[in-house]
Amino acid sequence: MLLRSMSAANYRSLRAIRMDLAGVNLFIGENGVGKSNLYRALQLVQAAVRGNLAYEIAAEGGMASALWSGKRRQGEAVRIRLAVELLDEERAVTFRYQVEAGLRPPKAAAGFAFEPQVKAEEFSIETGSRPVTMMRRAGPGITVRGETGRLQDYPEQAMTSETAIALLGDAGHYPEVGTFRRAVEGWRFFHGFRTDRASALRAPCLAVTAPLLDEDGGNLAAVFATLVHTREDTVELDRAIAAAFGGARLHVPEPGEHAEFALSFPDFPQRLFQPRELSDGQIRFLGLAGALMSYRQPALIALNEPEASLHPDMLEPLAGMIAQAAQRSQIWIVTHSQALASAVAARCGIRPRRVIRREGATWIDGMRLTGLMDEDGD
C-alpha cells in the first residue's frame, strides 16, 4: 500500500502544504525550517487512525501550541487539517482520508476547554472514474455507507476526542476502513532512539520472535536473533556493521529466556563488547540497522534525523541500509546532514527535497501548489 500524497494545513509551521510522494522521500533543510513538522504531521495521521489523535496533540502542548500562529484569512476556521492518499497497487484501489481538529467553541459544554476536538472526517475509495464516500463525520454525527450502498446514520455518536475512522475500525463491519486502518497502523516512525545507559537498545529482551523493530527499539536483541536463527541470512546486516565499525562482527547467541547480542572488533578478536559498553553512536547505528533490516519490513519507514550521534564514517553504511530497505518499503527521511542526503540520493537515484521557509511557512523549494516538483512536470 503506497502513500501517494499527504497534505497538512494550520499545523505548527505548515500553513498549507500538499505533496506527491515517491518510494524514497528525502527532506533536507536547516534547523528551524519545519522539517520535523512534516514528519510529525504524518505521524498524527497514524494517531487519528489509531484513535489517539487528541491525546497526541495534547501531549505536544495542546492546540494552542500545535496551531498555525501566523496570519489567517478573515472568517477562516481555526483547525488543523491532515489528509493522506494511499494506493493499493495490486487491486488498483485508492484510499483517501482527511481529518480536522480544533478547539471547543467558547459556550459548548462537550469536552474540556483546551483539549483538541475532532471536528470533521471523511474517508473515500476510488476504483473507477470517481471517488465514493464511505464515511463522513461532522461534529459527533457519523454517516457511513451501508450494505444498501447508501450513506446512513451510524448508530453511535463519536466523542470529541475520538476519531470516526478508529470507531468504525473497531466495529469490524467495514472492510474498506479495516484495510486502510491496517495499512496506516503498520507504518513505523523512528525519531531518536535513547542511547543513555538505561536505553532499551542496550538491554536484553524476552526471547520472542520479532519480525519488526518496536519504535523504542526495545526488542532489538530479538530482531537480531530472529534474523540470525530464524531467517539464517545476515549477509547484508553483517556487511553494514563491518563497514560502519571497521570490520566488527555481530554475535547473537541462541536465545534462552532472553535474547542478547554483542560485537567483536578486529583489534580485540577474543573480546565480546556488550551493548552497555558501546558508544552512543554505535548503539544508535545498531538500532537503525534493526529498523531497516528486520525480518519483515513495514510498508513505510520514517526516520527523523537518523544521523544524530553517528560518526561521519557511519553515514555511507547507513545510506546503504536505507537503499536496501527501499527495495521493500517506502522510505521517509528528514535530515540536516548534507553528507547523508548525498549518499542516499546517489544510492537510491533520487533528488533530495529542500525544506525552506516561505513567508513564515514551511515549504519545499521548487514545489508547485499542486504538490508536484518542477522536475516531475518536465
pLDDT band per the 50, 70, 90 thresholds, residue 376 = low
Which H or E run includes 164?
Answer: helix 164-171
Cell 478547539 sits at which residue?
A: 103
Q: Are 26 and 364 in contact (CB under 8 A)?
A: no
Please give the average per-residue pLDDT across 162-174, as a whole number: 89
Helices vs. strands in the chain: H and E counts, helices first: 11, 19
Q: Are 87 and 97 in contact (CB under 8 A)?
A: no
Q: Are 193 and 201 in contact (CB under 8 A)?
A: yes
Please give the average per-residue pLDDT across 113-126, as a whole number: 90
Question: Considering Cα of 306, then 310, then 315, then 318, what sign does the dihedral take?
Answer: negative
Q: Which three cell numbers stand for residue 124?
A: 473515500
Please give the average per-residue pLDDT across 224-238, as a whole number: 95
Which H or E run includes 357?
Answer: strand 353-358
Please give the average per-residue pLDDT across 117-133, as a whole number: 92
339-366 core/surface letters (b: 16 or more CB in 10 A; e: else): ebbebbbebbebebbbbbeeeebbbbee
**What is 194-349's CATH number?**
3.40.50.300
Q: Are 301 and 325 in contact (CB under 8 A)?
A: yes
Cell 489517539 sits at which residue?
A: 52
Residue 76 has pLDDT above 90, yes or no: no
Residue 113 has pLDDT above 80, yes or no: no
pLDDT band per the 50, 70, 90 thresholds, residue 171 = confident
360-to-12, 13, 70, 102 alpha-carbon distances in Å: 11, 7, 8, 22
How large a percentage of the chain has pLDDT more than 70?
A: 96
Residue 305 has pLDDT above 70, yes or no: yes
Taking the model in full, what pTM does it have? Answer: 0.92
Cell 531467517 sits at which residue?
A: 231
Residue 237 has pLDDT above 80, yes or no: yes
> Which residues are registered as beta bridge partners of 263?
250, 273
326-to-192, 216, 234, 238, 349 alpha-carbon distances in Å: 20, 21, 17, 18, 11
State whether residue 59 is helix, strand or coil.
helix
CB atoms within 10 A of CB 88: 16
Each residue of 173-226: pLDDT tens digit? 899 999 999 999 999 999 889 999 999 999 999 999 999 999 999 999 999 999
Residue 106 has pLDDT above 70, yes or no: no
Please give the average per-residue pLDDT across 269-275, as a whole number: 95
pLDDT band per the 50, 70, 90 thresholds, residue 377 = very low
d(CA 214, CA 223): 9
d(CA 30, CA 13): 14
CB atoms within 10 A of CB 374: 10
Q: Which three cell numbers stand for residue 208?
A: 520472542
pLDDT band per the 50, 70, 90 thresholds, residue 378 = very low
Residue 325 has pLDDT above 80, yes or no: yes
Q: Are 121 and 96 in contact (CB under 8 A)?
A: no
Please give the average per-residue pLDDT across 272-278, as a whole number: 97
123-to-39, 48, 83, 212 alpha-carbon distances in Å: 22, 12, 10, 28
The whole-number pLDDT of residue 218 equals 96
The whole-number pLDDT of residue 74 equals 73
Break the chain into its structural domains and give their ranges: 2-23+30-187+354-377, 194-349
Please give the average per-residue pLDDT across 247-252, as a whole number: 97
pLDDT band per the 50, 70, 90 thresholds, residue 107 = low
Burial (CB < 10 A; 0-12, 13-18, 19+), residue 94, is middle
